[in-house]
Amino acid sequence: MTTIGRRFSPGVIGIYLLLTIFALACLLPMVMTLVVSFSDENSIVNKGYSLFPDAFSLDGYRAIFANSEIIFKGYGISLFITAVGTVLALFLTAIGAYTLANPQVKYRNHLALFFFITTLFNAGIVPWYLMVKKLGLLDNILALIIPSLLFSAFNMFLIRNFMESLPDALRESAYIDGANDLTIAFRIYMPLSLPALATISLFYAIGYWNDWWNAIMLVDNKDLYPLQYILFQLRSNIQMLEMLPKGAGNEYTMPAESVKMATVIITIGPIALLYPYLQRYFVKGLVVGSVKG
């Protein structure tokens, strides 16, 4: 059998066909969201979500961009806090993980237990708010970054476990060559831990990008509202208007459903662009060949 014949054998064609069907099935919800965001509200109410609505409309996007200046400003705020917050949170998490993965650190297991307790118990909203207020993190841009900067212990343990799987010969040989812990951490362990760091950075980026809670609790200045909080307010206002009884001056059908889908389309952009870039690190075997036997 020729190479081309083996490449396009019935078994291979069947696998490609199944993968294509699976890919289309995964893509269908996103296509549905996009179509519904351009659908007329009456069509959605009468027929539900459909790939082929009775009528198309831009009412959802018009409602969102009725005050475009606020939307674009919120977009900029969200991009800023996502970029800065992700970098800082990832840095703190990686440093903590390397410390717990270093067998020469005394009482590292006791420190790990201290961090583990935070995954089981939470002080609550009131102590959290009082602490944030005491630190002066009210009504400023730091209020959207610092409170979420206290890294997740779960993420730290993921990176620590990854670093512990690296050969100890890396650290020992670096010590022999005169390297200190900072050099070993940033020149050896961090580059080799890129798959884990990329995964955690995606978690942090999604958390910062989708955050609206800090804006509700800590920010009153409208110039500091992130995109998610602005859209949250918009959806709440539309739902409130939708609940008003129909009558004189209220015959217009509010585009509640189309606004929801348009919100998804608008907010998914940065994360959808970030994920393919980080995905290449998920499958890289960076440790292979790092230590010569």
DSSP assignment of 190-224 equals HHHTHHHHHHHHHHHHHHHHT--HHHHHH---GGG
pLDDT band for position 245 (cuts 50, 70, 90):
low
Identify the burial level of 178 via C-beta atoms within 10 angstroms of its C-beta, where 0-12 means exposed, 13-18 middle and 19 or more buried: exposed
Say how many residues make up the chain: 293
pLDDT band for position 286 (cuts 50, 70, 90):
very low
pLDDT tens digits, 207-232: 899 888 999 989 988 889 998 898 88
pLDDT tens digits, 8-43: 677 778 888 898 888 888 888 888 888 888 888 888
pLDDT band for position 78 (cuts 50, 70, 90):
very high
Sign of CA dihedral 64, 70, 75, 81: negative
> Helix or strand or coil: residue 84?
helix
Sign of CA dihedral 119, 120, 124, 125: positive
Q: Which residues pair with 39 in a beta bridge?
A: 56
- The pLDDT score that the predictor gives to residue 175 is 85
- The pLDDT score that the predictor gives to residue 285 is 40
pLDDT tens digits, 180-203: 888 888 888 888 888 888 888 888
Residue in this structure with the two tokens 């900072």, named with its chain if needed: 182
The answer to whether 122 and 110 are in contact (CB under 8 A) is no
The answer to whether 209 and 267 are in contact (CB under 8 A) is yes
Distance of CA 166 to the CA centre of its chain: 27
CA–CA separation, 158 vs 7, rounded Å?
Answer: 39
The answer to whether 146 and 137 are in contact (CB under 8 A) is yes
- The pLDDT score that the predictor gives to residue 86 is 92
Question: Quick one: CA torsion of 207, 211, 215, 218, rounded to 10 degrees?
Answer: -30
More confident residue, 104 or 291: 104
For residue 151, pLDDT beyond 80: no
**Region of 136 on the Ramachandran plot (φ > 0 left; ψ -120 to 50 alpha; else beta):** left
CA–CA separation, 77 vs 200, rounded Å?
Answer: 22
Cβ neighbours of 245 (radius 10 Å): 5
CA–CA separation, 231 vs 234, rounded Å?
Answer: 5
- The pLDDT score that the predictor gives to residue 3 is 52
Token output for 233:
């307010």
Cβ neighbours of 116 (radius 10 Å): 13
What lies within 8 Å, CB to CB, of 70 at 6+ separation is 222, 225, 230
- The pLDDT score that the predictor gives to residue 244 is 65
The answer to whether 64 and 262 are in contact (CB under 8 A) is yes
Domains parsed from the chain with CATH numbers: 59-282 (1.10.3720.10)
What lies within 8 Å, CB to CB, of 104 at 6+ separation is none
